[in-house]
Chain A
Amino acid sequence: MKTDQLIEALTADLDVKPAPVARALTLAIAASLPIATIMLVFLLRVRPDVLSGFSDPRFAFKFVFTLTTAAAALWLALRVSRPGKTAGPALAGLVISALLLAAAVSLELIALPAASWFPAMLGDRALACAVLIPTLAAAPLAALLYAMKSGAPDSPRLAGAAAGLLAGAIGATLYATHCTNDSPLFVAIWYVLGIAVVTTIGSVIGSRVLRW
């Protein structure tokens, strides 16, 4: 096949429009969120005080952190799925999310007597958090990685990590409605660990399936 002949075939295929990454990611979230929510409701159960809980700044902060992280991850995923684009300015979102967490941790260290630091950090069922966030994130991760195949990332590994970070942040947001540990000290260790696990899984799978 000569290159001119290939161009004829490509031109003939112009009517089939590829999905933009943004739309593919939106569909992936729309499709996987119900699955993750069903898992949350039937496997874990939502805290009974979930609606009144928002008056507690510690509880509310969990969502500030997970949703900021999700937004930053979405920005990152959209950016690095374009050829020639590095993480660049999208890293600013992650820095903001990390700074928010650092600020919350500092306030908590001031608010709590030193003797309460460790109990607050360990909470109860700490490891469950690091396991259940990836569990809730599984369906979003699969859908988001599939959606990222619409992209053309310079680094499939980084693109997979961004999808993993987004899935992890979604899983953590859902998990936060179940988990009764609200201290930023707990969030900074166990939520971050759970999200990091999903990010790592995303980067490993991404490096294999997101080549284009």
Chain B
Amino acid sequence: MNDREREWADQMRAGMAGDAAAYRTVLKSLTAFLRMEVRRGFSRYGYGQSDVEDVVQESLLAIHLKRETWRTSEPITPWVRAIARNKLIDSLRRGGRRINVPIDDVIDVLPAAEPTEHLNERDAEQILSKLNGRQREIVQSISINGDSIRQTATRFDISEGAVRVALHRGLAALAKAYRTNDHED
């Protein structure tokens, strides 16, 4: 427990100082932790597990965009847990708005409660579709195609600076899209 805490905190500090490899590593470790926390949260409130990966991704986005709210001298685990709890509660609240869905629909959905990669992918595509054209293309290029900033800049024939700006705005827009996505569609 303490080893894990120290490892995450060290990697996060290195990441915030610009070490991309350490940052990637800590985000991957945190993903497993977040999945566990979110699954536990959903089952505690008697919800299916179909939105787990959504909440995990939303939490990762928040950890990234709000990383300056972690005071580097303090333990990181409670901070991560607090972010996950906030995102879980948001998700449950959005879920609450679906309460008037006909029961037959719910029964159709229930057997699919265990998430599959395919479903997650489709949900996330839906989220990506809420970004505007250029932002979506650039986020897609870097995330789904796995291109670097430079490759993306070459492909779209724009400066690397412009790619960075569009990527950052795209990620912020993605966080907002999750927040306002009430699954009414």
Contacts and interface: CB of A to CB of B under 8 A. Distances in A.
A13 B135 CA distance: 13
B175 interface: yes
Q: Tell me whether chain B's interface is mostly helix, strand or loop, or mixed.
A: helix
B65 interface: yes
Contact of B121 (A2, A8, A13, A151): A2
Interface residues of B, number: 52
B86 interface: yes
B168 A13 contact: yes
Interface size on A, as a range, is 20 to 34
B23 A16 contact: no
A10 interface: yes
B61 A14 contact: no
B143 A5 contact: yes
Given A1-B143, A13-B167, A152-B69, A7 B24 contact: yes
B40 interface: no
Contacts of A45: none
A6 B57 contact: yes
B60 A6 contact: yes
A84 B82 contact: yes
A154 B70 CA distance: 13
Contact of B66 (A2, A11, A15, A18): A18
A49 interface: no
Most chain A CB inside 10 Å of its own CB: which residue of B71, B140, B149, B167: B167
A8 B31 CA distance: 13
B67 interface: yes
Contacts of A12: 142, 148-149, 167
A9 B23 CA distance: 12
A171 to B, nearest CB: 27
A16 B79 CA distance: 21
A20 B121 CA distance: 33
B81 interface: yes
B173 interface: no
Nearest to B148: A12
A3 B71 contact: no
Contacts of B149: 12
Interface in A60-98: 81-85
B61 A11 contact: no
Contact of A83 (B15, B20, B79): B79
Nearest to B74: A82
A18 B24 contact: no
A3 B31 contact: yes
Given A1-B124, A4-B28, A211 B142 contact: no
A83 B179 contact: no
B83 interface: yes
Nearest to B168: A16
Interface string A126-155: 000000000000000000000000111010
B62 A152 contact: yes
B164 A15 contact: yes
Interface of B: 15, 18, 20, 23-24, 27-28, 31, 53, 56-57, 60-62, 64-71, 78-79, 81-83, 85-86, 90, 117, 120-121, 124-125, 127-128, 139-140, 142-144, 146, 148-149, 164-165, 167-168, 171, 175, 179
- Sorted nearest first, the 10 A-B pairs with minimum C-beta distance are A84-B82, A83-B82, A1-B124, A9-B143, A152-B66, A5-B143, A20-B68, A16-B168, A10-B64, A7-B27
Given A1-B143, A10-B64, 15 more contacts: A1-B124, A1-B127, A3-B60, A5-B143, A6-B57, A6-B61, A9-B143, A12-B142, A14-B23, A82-B70, A83-B83, A152-B62, A152-B69, A154-B82, A211-B179
